[in-house]
Amino acid sequence: MATGTPHPQDLADRTVVVIGASSGIGFATARQVRRHGGRVVMAGRDPRRLGRAAEEVGAERCVPLDAADTGRLREFFDALPGPVDHVVSTAGSPFYATLDDLDVDEARTHVGERLALTLGVAKYGGAVVRDAGTLVFVGGTGGRRPGIGTSVTAALTAALPALTSSLAVELAPVRVNLVAPGFVDTPLSASLLGDRLEERRERLRATLPIRRVVGPDDVAAVILHLMVNEAVTGATYDVDGGQQLVPP
Ligand SMILES: NC(=O)c1ccc[n+]([C@@H]2O[C@H](COP(=O)([O-])OP(=O)(O)OC[C@H]3O[C@@H](n4cnc5c(N)ncnc54)[C@H](OP(=O)(O)O)[C@@H]3O)[C@@H](O)[C@H]2O)c1
């Protein structure tokens, strides 16, 4: 039985599926799985970006997939050659809009797809994970602080820990866990902030209790810990450098 802190080769002979693997947190997770001796199956929407990432990581397979398409998600898991040890899904993006700018139908679609994606990975992914393996989802801490324009993200931020703990009971002995990052320095953050990225990094370096910006490898390290530590299920782990503890 594997317990405790990850160490080299503790994922040897383990197979890990990473959905959202071509960039950011998912890419860092796939790379760390390989460093720890595991095999990785990588999925993401853009086949070219995915192919490049899979080559760099040395993936066992890469499969273009839009995880918001439940039918494709089911086919993806059905087509895996056998059971796997862990499934990680980082697929998703935040939704920010003030009520003035909010398109209610767009918000409905976003919330529905985000919940359906998580439920789809649980239903079809959970069926192929070996006992004591884990499903790891990625949510966020961003919506925990009330703010203008964050209502949709706040609602999902609150929903995902509840969903995770219920799934952990239903899917046992497969474990289900959630990682909730604050700001992470990834291509997603770069695209959201544009020319305000460096200013944001500077502010975080000055104000975060850890005095540095959180990177994708910091989040991936917690995801790997959740694979290896078989005592953890139904949990939400915040990885935000203490961002919630200090004024915005
Ligand atoms: N970065 C942050 O500061 C931060 C903070 C809190 C929470 N998060 C959350 O953490 C997760 C990962 O963020 P990140 O910063 O690593 O983003 P990222 O750099 O944009 O990477 C996202 C990955 O997911 C894939 N993806 C997106 N939608 C998908 C879908 N429907 N099906 C399959 N693959 C999909 C993307 O590739 P394709 O586009 O080619 O599919 C890409 O490989 C997101 O859910 C995000 O909301 C991020």
CA 17, 152, 166, 133: dihedral to nearest 10 degrees?
Answer: 10
The yes-or-no verdict on residue 3 having pLDDT over 90 is no
Name the residue of 48, 93, 119 whose CB sits within 8 Å of the most ligand 1 atoms, as the mutation to test its pocket.
93
> Residue 156 is encoded by which pair of tokens?
């999902």
| Nearest Cα residue to atom 41 of ligand 1 | 45
| Residue 123 confidence (pLDDT) | 98
CA 92 – ligand 1 centroid, Å: 5
| Residue 2 confidence (pLDDT) | 45
Q: Is the CB of 135 under 6 A from ligand 1?
A: no
| Nearest Cα residue to atom 1 of ligand 1 | 184
In this predicted model, which residue has the larger pLDDT, 23 or 1? 23
How far does Cα 201 stand from its chain's mean position?
21
Q: Region 119-126: what's the mean pLDDT?
A: 98
pLDDT band at residue 29 using 50, 70 and 90 as cut-offs: very high
**Residues shown for the chain:** 248
Which atom of ligand 1 sits closest to the CA of residue 113?
31
Q: Is the CB of 156 under 6 A from ligand 1?
A: no
pLDDT digits (tens, 9 = 90+) for 138-147: 999 988 899 9
CA distance 30 to 43: 10
| Residue 107 confidence (pLDDT) | 98
**All domains of the chain, ordered by start, with CATH?**
15-239 (3.40.50.720)
Q: Is the CB of 92 under 6 A from ligand 1?
A: yes
Q: Is the CB of 6 under 6 A from ligand 1?
A: no
Predicted TM-score (pTM) of this structure: 0.96
| Average pLDDT taken over every residue of the chain | 95
The yes-or-no verdict on residue 170 having pLDDT over 70 is yes
| Residue 143 confidence (pLDDT) | 81
Alpha helices in the chain (DSSP H): 24-35, 47-57, 70-78, 104-120, 126, 151-171, 187-193, 197-207, 216-228
The yes-or-no verdict on residue 202 having pLDDT over 60 is yes
| Nearest Cα residue to atom 25 of ligand 1 | 20
**How many Cβ atoms sit within 10 Å of the Cβ of residue 185?**
18
The yes-or-no verdict on residue 114 having pLDDT over 70 is yes
**Of the given ranges (4-8, 43-47, 153-157, 229-233), which has the lowest mean pLDDT?**
4-8
| Nearest Cα residue to atom 7 of ligand 1 | 140
Q: Is the CB of 181 under 6 A from ligand 1?
A: yes
| Residue 248 confidence (pLDDT) | 84
In this predicted model, which residue has the larger pLDDT, 144 or 231? 231
Q: Is the CB of 93 under 6 A from ligand 1?
A: yes
| Residue 9 confidence (pLDDT) | 80
| Residue 6 confidence (pLDDT) | 52
Q: Is 181 helix (H, G, I), strand (E, B) or coil?
A: strand
pLDDT band at residue 7 using 50, 70 and 90 as cut-offs: low
